[in-house]
Structures are given as structure tokens and as C-alpha cells.
Amino acid sequence: MLTQHHTSVCLSLTAYDLPVWSVVQTDATLYQREPEKFHLLLTEPLIQDPIASGSHLVLDKAQTVTNILTPRLLWLEISPDRVVMTMQGNGQFSYRHFWEHRAYGMSRYWLQMNDVSDKHQIRLRNFTRSLFIKGKKLPRHLRVEYELWANQLQIGHYVMNVEIKL
């Protein structure tokens, strides 16, 4: 039986060895798929700076410039042994991470150029150091600590925290 809960969420990403730190606070919908399987869907708030938001300029029929801002959707599939996070929707950049506790997974990034048929994919391996979910019936806190790897080169050690306020 599918149940849903509307809630607020704080998602943060921090790197141990790089100057990376990001926090998103927004509303989300938590779907319970099975007793210990959940989907968390959230929309990242729009960033008004066209360069930082990944928005692009389009010439309409009158040859005037219009700024198109599209929201970025984050979708997390949460279970006790695996987390999948997908970001899509801003038109130029998408990604998907597969994390399993103490296992190697795949992180994929898609870059879309001006030509719709011209899509570029970057594949990286990740190693999940720890995957922690707190909450009895519904998840209240998710923490994923992982490393990103390109062949034999480690390119960062990251921690993603998701606080779900029910």
C-alpha cells in the first residue's frame, strides 16, 4: 500500500578533503512503498542567478532573449541496504548515484549540450563507507558517507545528510 507524507527536508553535502559544502532546505513528499522502502521526492528551490542555476537563454520567434528556469528534482529511493539518488530537470545536467553499504557503486553524470542528440555521460565509481538510516516506522535521518573514484584516482570523500522533519 502506497502512503505519502508531506514534510520539510534539509539535505546537505560536505566533502572532507575538498572545499565543497552545500545545503538545501525545501518541502518534500515521502512515499512509503513497502515496510522498509521509501521514495523521497523534493524540488530544489530555484536559484535566480542564470549562470549558477543551470538555466539557459533561448531566442523566441521575435528574437528576444528569454530566461528559462527549470526546477531540479531530487528523487531518493531509500531502503536499509541501498540508497539511489537521481537529480533531473534543469535541462543541462543530471546525475544518479547508487550507494550500498561497504560496496562499490556507480555514479553517473549526464551533460547535455545545445544539440538535443548530443548527450555526454561521465561514469565514476563510488565506495560507500557507511549508510545509516534512523527512524522506526519512517526515516527521520539518512547519512551516506562515500568516496568517488575515477579509475585508480580518488576524487573526494563526501558525506550526504538528509534530515526529514515529520
81-110 pLDDT per residue, tens: 999 999 886 666 788 999 999 999 999 988
Share of the chain residues as helix, strand and coil, in percent rounded to the nearest 5:
0, 70, 30
Q: For domain 3-44+70-165, give its CATH number from 1.10.1040.10, 2.40.128.20, 3.40.50.720, 3.40.140.10.
A: 2.40.128.20
Count the residues in the chain: 166
Q: In the prediction, which pLDDT does 117 show? A: 55
**Cα Dmax for the chain:** 57
CA distance linking residue 100 with residue 49, whole number of Å: 35
For 58-70, what is each residue's pLDDT tens digit? 444 444 444 455 5
Q: Do 90 and 54 form a contact (C-beta atoms < 8 A)? A: yes
Which amino acid belongs to residue 116? V
User: Is the pLDDT reported for residue 156 higher than 90?
Assistant: yes
Global confidence as pTM: 0.79
Which amino acid belongs to residue 57? L
User: Is the pLDDT reported for residue 31 higher than 80?
Assistant: yes
User: Is the pLDDT reported for residue 125 higher than 70?
Assistant: yes
